[in-house]
Amino acid sequence: MKDLRAIAKLLDRLHEVGTKRDKAKNRDLHMDQYCLLVLMWIYNPILTSMRGLQEASNLKEVQKRLGVGRASLGSLSESVSIFDPEPLAELANELSQKLPNRTPQNFSAVDKRITAVDGSVFKVLSQIAKLAWLPVGNGKHRCGYRLHTQFEVFRGTPSRVDLTPANPKGSSDERVVLEKTLEPERCYLLDRGYEKYSLWNAIDVKGSQYVCRIRDNPAFEVLKERPLSQKAVSENIISDLIVRFGGEQTKEPPNHATRVVMIKINPLDSRSRKDAISAPSSDGVLRIVTNNLDIPAEIVAALYLLRWTIELYFRMIKQLLGCRHLLSHKPNGVTIQIYLAIIACILIMSITGKSPTKRTYEMISFYLMGWASIDELEEHIKKLSERPA
């Protein structure tokens, strides 16, 4: 953390990306330099736009510390069209694999990589008409990209990010995207938007497991009711069932053994809510389906609760690291920005041993802006290491 040039060593491999068409060898802005500028934007809350980033590139101190030259607004905007984000994704994956896997002992019975899956919309300007998909009133639309993310819960970083238009239809449907990107030896944690028999079958065939919430009125036949442990009863689990989904008219029912764990929760009528939070109604029973027949019912319930870690990660990326809005409107630019935000998180985690917090982010920003000394930053990190995990 002496300065951002130390991070530049990680990005050296990106320097020649997108230069094959540059026969004259006169390209001024290379991918590693673009990435350094975006990282500066991530770590500096003063910068809020691409134009602000371009103006910052004119500053001599920025050029000296980053080892970059002046970047025009046109080059910042257009160069991402030729920058392939895949090498950056590979770098993010390499860095994440160096983080320790902190799986608690009570989840040791799950012999798969526990992976929460969800998607989140990241906004861009409304004039990108082809991506406008949801009217929000006054002739305006919510526009952007949907990031389909597979998040390794106990490593604290995404293992995969897929970008689609925001409208969750057709090839952009989260279930379609996940089925195309399934990997073996994973335990996928899914919300009820992923309730689809063919997806469950694909996960099972792949040699992975799923833990998925289902709707309140599922169609299944109970084949066997399993006894509950005292611990399960104390955690409001009301039944553990081996079931058969679908009926005679079902085209593609689950072709493997399925299990439903039911948990008592507070009922919710979404129509009666007066706040801005939208949530589907619930009849007071949480139904979790899984193809893992071996672990206790209370572990199935605990696995589903872990799915919320991905929501916290999205919040951190958007609120803490400034990705609520996107710098670029091009798919490559969006993907590069998100993977750089992931790398920013990984760097903080590798230094502190903990997930980024607002205070830690602020201290790093203060240091990089010259308002805090390296000793003060290291003292902050030392205090973090003394706190319980």
Give tens-digit pLDDT for 319-328: 777 776 778 8
Burial class (CB in 10 A: 0-12, 13-18, 19+), 78: middle
Counted residue by residue, the chain has a size of 389
Is the confidence at residue 126, as pLDDT, over 50? no
Contacts of residue 57, Cβ cutoff 8 Å, sequence gap at least 6:
37, 63, 68, 69, 70, 71, 76
First-to-last CA distance in the chain?
Answer: 23
Q: Which of 116-130, 136-150, 220-234, 239-253 has the highest mean pLDDT?
A: 220-234
Q: Please give the Cα distance from 62 to 224 (Å, whole number).
A: 67
Q: Residues of the chain with pLDDT > 70: what percent? A: 85
Is the confidence at residue 53, as pLDDT, over 70? yes
Q: Please give the Cα distance from 359 to 363 (Å, whole number).
A: 6
Q: Give residue 105's Cα distance to chain centre.
A: 24
Q: How do the residues of the chain divide into helix, strand and coil, expressed in percent and rounded to 5?
A: 40, 20, 40
Q: Please give the Cα distance from 306 to 326 (Å, whole number).
A: 28
Q: Please give the Cα distance from 346 to 329 (Å, whole number).
A: 25
Lowest mean pLDDT among 88-102, 133-147, 232-246: 133-147
Q: What sign does the CA torsion over 149, 151, 157, 158 have?
A: negative
pLDDT of 127: 41
Structure tokens at 128: 């990108």
How does the average pLDDT of the chain come out, rounded?
A: 84
Average pLDDT over residues 297-325: 87
Contacts of residue 320, Cβ cutoff 8 Å, sequence gap at least 6:
356, 357, 358, 361
Quote the pTM value. 0.84
Q: What band does 133 get if pLDDT is binned at 50, 70 and 90?
A: very low
Helices (H), the chain: 4-11, 31-43, 50-56, 60-66, 73-78, 86-97, 174-180, 197-205, 230-234, 297-305, 308-315, 331-352, 358-368, 374-386
Beta bridge partner(s), residue 164: 146
Q: Residues of the chain with pLDDT > 90: what percent? A: 35
Q: What band does 1 get if pLDDT is binned at 50, 70 and 90?
A: very low
